[in-house]
Chain A
């Protein structure tokens, strides 16, 4: 089964085309990378998959369900860790996770148990009572990821999950993501750190100006020496 199936999908903002007739398929259980420069259309695509944005052209299916017609079912299957910190800055991460668990229909007992599991997994237990605004950048990233995992989603979408965090924390986060992948989660990752994508993903799609330029298997990542060289050559940005 495909975790994600995008067919002929386009999205425009007024007269500006953000995504132009793209097709993408991500099989269940894959660790998939979505690459592209700023404004390539990655976040717009993610917003349309998750329900943050609407679209009128093409179709997007998650686990065989249409994200617009069956929106409640598909949203229950997805966990999103967005590029921007969009949590209530005055609430603690514990409170935020409790609300989010509630939005996904989790009962109080299950929420409490899951919050403890995730706080330990993300090493956030000592910070769980602090307001979100009092956390460091790295802790905020982990808190946002913990929030995305609250309802134990089948598909995890991570939009720049390691932006602004130090190398030690990045490596620790990679390990957690690999564990989640081994546990059967489908992970869709966007990142500007190409070594991160190279390390974690088994397949990537390169987006450029709203279109998918090319899809690459792991064995093809280094066709020009490294994924970075391959990426720069394909996007015409090589020096």
Chain B
């Protein structure tokens, strides 16, 4: 891996989202503030899920995780799609960049955007609650690994999409619904027994639950299972994306 070449891709990707901060950073901060305010404070002050924690502390990890997922996905998918659409991708295809360098550059750019968005939300949350960090290491592991996974998913979307509308299909019909029923706003113990079983097949439940454990020490799953799942998912997705880049699928006509 050549660090100069990789650095150029990372710089291009980070400059891309820093050029449009209202869309890429400020919008998620405002929407997270509203979630914290409405669900955490206004409605949350009337909800007591568990004796030992406030509702705002319970929902904050889910709000953070939603934004990590959507920022990483949005960054890599739109970046790759627009580069294909405007043929700016030819700049990289005609250069000596290796496929690993190309993909890693997109991923680092998307992780950077997710981390900035998550940090901003965390700082905003400090105005409303203690925003605990019980296990800092786990917090970074879950946030960064989730961002890596969804930046790779975003690359698949960016390769597959033929028109702009395609970019939002996965987010609208799969990711957002699964996130909302993945334990962002409620404990799965609140669900009927049969739905609890189904909820455990939702991968987003493990992401939210892992981040919640890292922040408030509360978990409804096996943390090590989440670690294995996230690591395996990241390796598998990287291999799929690398294979498609090597074959030139939708990249080299």
Binding site for B on A (CB under 8 A): 13, 47, 50-54, 71-73, 75-76, 78, 80, 82, 84, 86-91, 95-96, 98-107, 147
Contact = CB atoms under 8 A, between A and B. Distances in A.
Interface residues of B, number: 25
A86 B252 contact: no
A7 to B, nearest CB: 20
Given A50-B94, A51-B94, A72-B98, A102 B4 contact: yes
A55 B86 CA distance: 22
A102 B7 contact: yes
Contact of B88 (A73, A87, A105, A106): A87
Contacts of B94: 50-52, 75, 78, 80
Given A13-B253, A51-B252, A102-B4, A75 B95 contact: yes
A238 to B, nearest CB: 34
A72 B19 contact: no
Contacts of B90: 52, 80, 82, 86
Nearest to B89: A86
Contacts of A52: 90, 93-94, 252-253
A102 B253 contact: no
A99 to B, nearest CB: 5
Nearest to A72: B96
Contacts of A51: 93-94, 252
B1 to A, nearest CB: 11
Interface in B216-242: none
Nearest to A47: B253
Nearest to B3: A105
**Residue among A73, A78, A99, A102 with the most chain B CB within 10 A?**
A102
B135 interface: no
A199 to B, nearest CB: 27
